[in-house]
Structure formats: structure tokens, C-alpha cells
Amino acid sequence: MTAEDFLSGQIILIDKPLHWTSFQAVNKLRWEIRRAFNIKKIKVGHAGTLDPLATGLLVICTGKKTKEINTYQAQIKEYTGTFVLGSTTPSFDLETEIDQQHPTSHITEDLIHETTKKFIGDIEQYPPLFSAIKKDGKRLYEFARAGKAVEIKPRIIHISEFEITKINGLNIDFRVVCGKGTYIRSLADDFGKALNSGAHLSALRRTKIGDFNIENGVSIKGFIAGLKG
């Protein structure tokens, strides 16, 4: 790769590590590309945010390819992960601590599999309060962290596949194929409610965006090593 290659536009498939924000990943790659090729300025952006507690596919575009970001953001995505039944958190994941316990003795494996059918197709979903969506000029998580109540409007999202891949006690492994704007954390919370219980997301990995697959992704360290090599 040359400086001109990155300026003309490249698509980089990164396997984002746990605890990194998507913003941090983009900044790190931008800095490393600039340093490697002595470039003063280059556009770098990602096609779809991953939460810090999620891992997996981050499509990063450089140079002129950044104009295609909206196209990639709109494509179908696939996720795998784990729900934990019987307990909920304010953020719907492990960003916040468990604040409520719910009954689970009535939940059977058949009920779990049957309940997934309620979430196929176009469904109404409320985004998590702990999210980066803006309302009145502020991010929702700013209201949440300040303990302020705020009205959130539901969105219509599309789920084309929702599969339970493993049941281990209260830990439910899943695979979901969904459209733009879907919050898997909200799906976890809604799934728990549909079971007349509660649930939160304990692990999440994005595996596909359109035709891009995590199998072709590289770690941030691997990408940097390739620049130096």
C-alpha cells in the first residue's frame, strides 16, 4: 500500500477489540496511516458504530471511499452474542450494574425458541436510554447519567433472522440478522419482557455488514504491523 492508495480510498475491515470505542479505532488508524506515509491530512471514517462492550466487524473507509460510508451503514448486519435471562440493567448491557431480578422458573427451551418468532419482520423498538442518539442537542446517555427522565420515541426496525444457537442455563447464545438502526441491547430487554421475565446483553459481536465478513477482518495491531511491513 502507498499513500496514494489510502488517499484514493481503501476499505479496511477491522476486528474491533473489547473496550475500544469506534471513534478510538478510527483515530488510531488515521494516526498510524499519517505517520507511516508522512501524510498531513487524510479522511478516515467508519460505517456503523460498535459499542465499547461489543467486538467484531468495523468497516473503516479512507480517502475518497469515505463518500460511500452511508451506503455501507444501510446494509444488512449480522450479530452473535449472549443474553442473560432473569436480570436487567439500566443500559440493557454490562455498562451498568444489575438493578432488578425477574422470575425464570416458568421459562422452557421451547418457550425461548418460540418467542424469537415474535421479533421477525418489521417491529417497533425503543432505543436504549444509554445511547448516542441526540435529543434536544444532547446525547441520550447524558440524560441517563444525570438521572433525568426523557421521552424516547420508538422506531420501526427490521429483523430477518433471529436464531437461538445455544442455551446454557440462563445464558442464551443467539444470532441475529437485522437492518439499520437495530439495537441488540434493546432486543435483549424486549426479549426478556416477551418471556414475562427480564434479560440483558452480556456479549455482542458483529460478524457481517452486507458482503463484508469478520472472517476477512484484521486486528488493529495486525493492520499496524502491515503498514510497517
pLDDT tens digits, one per residue of 124-177: 998 877 655 555 566 555 655 656 666 678 899 999 999 999 999 999 999 999
CA dist., res. 50 & res. 217, Å (int): 15
**Is 51 tagged catalytic?**
yes
pLDDT at position 128: 79
Between the alpha carbon of residue 42 and those of residues 15, 21, 25, 65, 160, the distances in Å are 21, 20, 15, 11, 37
Q: 0.85 cut: is pTM over it?
A: yes
End-to-end CA distance of the chain: 10
CA dist., res. 1 & res. 124, Å (int): 45
Q: Do domains 3-74+211-228 and 77-209 have the same CATH topology?
A: yes
pLDDT at position 121: 98
pLDDT tens digits, one per residue of 82-95: 999 999 998 899 98
pLDDT at position 45: 95
C-alpha cell at position 166: 445455544
Which of the following is catalytic: 51, 93, 189, 190? 51
C-alpha cell at position 128: 436504549
Can you tell me the mean pLDDT for 118-125?
97
Between the alpha carbon of residue 222 and those of residues 29, 66, 75, 199, the distances in Å are 11, 22, 26, 35
CB atoms within 10 A of CB 126: 13
pLDDT at position 109: 97
Q: How do the domains of the chain map onto residue ranges?
A: 3-74+211-228, 77-209
191 pLDDT band (50/70/90 cuts)?
Answer: very high
Strands (E), the chain: 11-16, 44-46, 54-62, 77-85, 87-88, 100-101, 121-125, 134-135, 138-139, 155-168, 171-178, 199-209, 212-213
Q: Are strands 87-88 and 199-209 parallel, antiparallel or unpaired?
A: unpaired
pLDDT at position 136: 58
CB atoms within 10 A of CB 14: 25
pLDDT at position 216: 97
Q: Which CATH superfamily is domain 3-74+211-228 in?
A: Pseudouridine synthase (3.30.2350.10)
Can you tell me the mean pLDDT for 198-224?
97
pLDDT tens digits, one per residue of 20-50: 999 999 999 999 999 999 999 999 999 988 9
The dihedral sign for the CA sequence 48, 49, 55, 60: positive
User: To the nearest whole number, what is the mean pLDDT of the chain?
Assistant: 91
Decide if 7 contacts 63 (C-beta within 8 A).
yes
CA dist., res. 87 & res. 213, Å (int): 32
pLDDT at position 135: 55
pLDDT tens digits, one per residue of 161-173: 999 999 999 999 9
14 pLDDT band (50/70/90 cuts)?
Answer: very high
pLDDT tens digits, one per residue of 54-80: 999 999 999 999 999 999 999 999 999
CA dist., res. 161 & res. 63, Å (int): 34
C-alpha cell at position 220: 488493529
**CATH fold of 77-209:** Pseudouridine synthase (3.30.2350)
